[in-house]
Amino acid sequence: MIRRFIGLGLTACMLTGPAQAGGLDRTGQSLSVLFEEGGTAGAQVRLDYSRTAPHVTGQGDGITGYVPAGTQYDNVADAFSSLGAALKFRLSDRLTAAVIAERPFGSDVLYPGSAQGSEFGGTTAWAETASLTAVLRYQFDQHWSVHGGLRMQEIEGKIRLSGWAYGPPAVYGIPTANGYKVDLGRDTALGYVIGASYEIPEIALRATLTYNSTITHEMDTVEQGNRSATLDGSSVTEVKTPQSVNLYVQTGIAIDTLVYGSVRWAKWSEFRIDPKGFSKPVSEGGSGVGLVDLDDTFTYTLGIGHQFNDAWSGAAEVFYEPRKDDIVAPLFPSVGFWGVGVSGSYETGDWTLSAGVRYTSLGDGSIETFPVGVERAHFEENEALSVGMRVAYNF
């Protein structure tokens, strides 16, 4: 029977920083461990580690009379690591369970420079999430199965707006958003996952569709403005991590080779950060807009896996996330991406060791603030390199 190459050690690790889903979406929320055969008890435990090193660099277009064009923004997105773990076990001939721990979303953006001498110097965006998913899979027969469960998710974040793109700095004594800070306190909330699969084991065909629900957080919020009482205060901000749909399909094309592909849709338009003070109408001293406004995304992957012998196997894939336009927000200065990845896996006894590398070319982006339509900076020719490792034990 053809070996199943789900994941094959290449953990899903995307760049932090782009304005679309790839900027915040770090894992893809895979449930692949549910379909592993496991060992004699039908169980598997795995540990994943990945490291992503982005290169995100842009140049300022200047602000007439205040900031000359040409400011360099180097290494805006920080490198990040991610740990994940999963345990799958068989409860009966038809019922399987899994517990998955991961950090599905995140951001770490910092513009070098000062608020007095650049468009965005000192602007930062940091966000971190952690989730624990418990899911069951029930097989009706060798072809059809359903799965579903609960997901507990924790999130926190901090944002600072800095630079002339947000108005004069504090030394001018004018209330502006230049120097505005907001802390979004840690919150834990529940969501759910549900899906179904169809399989033909003889040809290693599987089609799996999974829905991940929106998770709504109520985050204790502290705002601090630049000489503006309107932007100061404490409140609660509702933040939703996006609902999404994952479709995964694989099929054997030879006794030792299969092709696979996936499509992930994420409703990033519902991920908004609208603190009470900042999002007030302009007539009341606020900005009239939210801090984050993203587009929904589709992410596509296509790959091929090959088993070389009883111990070694490998895979190669391409992936792509199209862009709607090249207008981006300062907190996520890139739009869309494409990339390639390769991975290999070595199996010895009950152990499987896997490793992979992924290159991502990030889309160009033009940053606008106020007034709308005026470009403040542009980012182009950016990229990210990711490496991942997995250790799995079957028992």
What's the rounded Cα separation, in Å, for the pair 384 and 29? 20
Residues paired with 277 in a beta bridge: none
Which pLDDT value is given to residue 372?
66
DSSP letter (8 states) at residue 3: P
Which pLDDT value is given to residue 7?
40
Backbone angles phi, psi at 18, to 5 degrees: -65, 160
- CB-CB contact of 153 with 193 (8 Å): no
Which pLDDT value is given to residue 21?
38
Which pLDDT value is given to residue 20?
35
* pLDDT tens-digit series, residues 35-92: 999 999 999 999 999 999 999 999 999 998 899 999 999 989 889 888 999 999 999 9
Which pLDDT value is given to residue 371?
66
Q: Note if the pTM is more than 0.85.
A: yes
By three-state DSSP, how is residue 384 classified?
A: strand
Which pLDDT value is given to residue 94?
97
What's the rounded Cα separation, in Å, for the pair 344 and 262? 19
According to the 3-state scheme, what is the secondary structure of 96-137? EEEEEEECCEEEEEECCCCCCCCCCCCCEEEEEEEEEEEEEE
Which of the residues in the chain have pLDDT under 70? Answer: 1-23, 334, 370-372
Q: 3-state DSSP helix/strand/coil percent for the chain, to nearest 5? A: 5, 55, 35
* pLDDT tens-digit series, residues 274-297: 999 888 887 777 777 888 888 899
Tokens 């790839």 sit on residue: 22
For residue 341, what are its two tokens? Answer: 């990845």
Which pLDDT value is given to residue 313?
92
What's the rounded Cα separation, in Å, for the pair 248 and 210? 9
